[in-house]
């Protein structure tokens, strides 16, 4: 089963990060690797949904696999939050020594974590049955978590090694995903309104691409 394989991989990966850690203070190793894992699983959650929404691909285990990816993203986000906030920043006591810019970035990350945790709880079978038809619309809050995560990613970069390479790789991953989501939204609007197909995508893509480029390569990443 795909979902069982995803959960198993998540547990093994989280243990591997600890096994390869030098166990130093501050905990750069754990903070970075758990952040990367959280971003990767969140990215895969969104990507599988975007591909399914813009193509004819329908896999029977798809929804369960996406839920497993989303829960795994939450798991790694929790680990990243613990090591990043308590072992790197120094908790509430250490936060006063960091800038307001950095604190706002942490707030975006905290809000993203709260949404991911709420969605993970909603994915429990009992709650899914209780929520009924409202479950699927509630899961669209994942996009809010993704936007908040992206804000956090492009602003809380002071502790990242190889920052330029990380930004380039992340940009290369996010750009096609954003295009798929724009096409998906275009498809949704065209199905409900008499508009030419791909019109919204053609209008929306240039400013979105420009904003993404600015966030990754123009925004000052060392203002903390």
pLDDT tens per residue across span 16-49: 999 999 988 888 899 999 999 999 999 999 999 8
Q: Does 73 reside within a domain? A: yes
Q: What is the pLDDT of residues 2-11, one digit of tens each?
A: 889 999 999 9
| Contact (Cβ atoms closer than 8 angstroms) between residue 212 and residue 174 | yes
* Spatial distance between the Cα atoms of 44 and 26, rounded to a whole number of angstroms: 29
pTM: 0.88
| CA 11/CA 72 separation, integer angstroms | 9
Q: Does residue 195 belong to any structural domain of this protein?
A: no
Within a domain: residue 22?
Answer: yes
**Rounded Cα–Cα distance for residues 78 and 76 (Å):** 5
DSSP annotation of 44: H
Is residue 13 a part of any domain in this protein?
yes
Identify the DSSP state of 132. G
The predicted pLDDT at position 133 comes to: 87
Q: What pLDDT, on the 0 to 100 scale, is given for residue 25?
A: 82
pLDDT of residue 95: 83
Two structure tokens written together for 203: 């209008």
For the chain, what is the mean pLDDT? Answer: 87
List C-alpha distances in Å: 200 to 53, 177, 184, 224.
16, 16, 10, 37
Which tens digit of pLDDT belongs to each residue from 128-138? Answer: 989 988 988 89
Using one digit for the tens of pLDDT, what is the confidence trace for 78-135? 999 999 999 888 888 888 888 888 888 999 999 999 999 999 999 988 999 899 889 8
Please give the Cα distance from 104 to 77 (Å, whole number): 17
| Domain count of the fold of the chain | 1
Q: Is 217 inside a domain boundary?
A: no
Nearest to 114 by CA among 81, 153, 150, 158: 81
In a domain, 69, yes or no: yes
- For residue 132, being part of any structural domain is answered with yes
Give the structural domain span for 88.
Answer: 2-162
């Amino acid at each position: 089963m795909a979902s069982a394989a995803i959960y198993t991989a998540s547990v093994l990966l989280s243990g591997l990060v600890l096994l390869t850690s030098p166990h130093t203070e501050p905990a750069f190793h754990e903070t970075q690797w758990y952040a990367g894992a959280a971003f990767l699983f969140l990215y895969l959650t969104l990507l599988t949904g975007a591909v399914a929404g813009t193509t004819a691909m329908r896999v029977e285990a798809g929804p369960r696999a996406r839920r497993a990816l989303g829960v795994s993203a939450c798991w790694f986000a929790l680990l990243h939050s613990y090591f990043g906030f308590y072992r790197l920043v120094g908790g509430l006591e250490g936060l006063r020594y960091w800038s307001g810019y950095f604190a706002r970035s942490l707030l975006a990350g905290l809000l993203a974590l709260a949404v991911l945790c709420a969605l993970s709880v909603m994915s429990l079978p009992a709650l899914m049955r209780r929520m009924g038809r409202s479950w699927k619309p509630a899961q669209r809050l994942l996009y809010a978590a993704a936007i908040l995560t992206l804000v956090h990613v492009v602003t809380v970069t002071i502790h990242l090694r190889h920052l330029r390479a990380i930004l380039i790789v992340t940009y290369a991953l996010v750009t096609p995903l954003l295009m798929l989501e724009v096409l998906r939204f275009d498809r949704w609007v065209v199905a409900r309104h008499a508009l030419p197909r791909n019109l919204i995508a053609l209008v929306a893509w240039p400013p979105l691409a420009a904003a993404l480029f600015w966030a990754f390569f123009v925004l000052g990443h060392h203002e903390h």
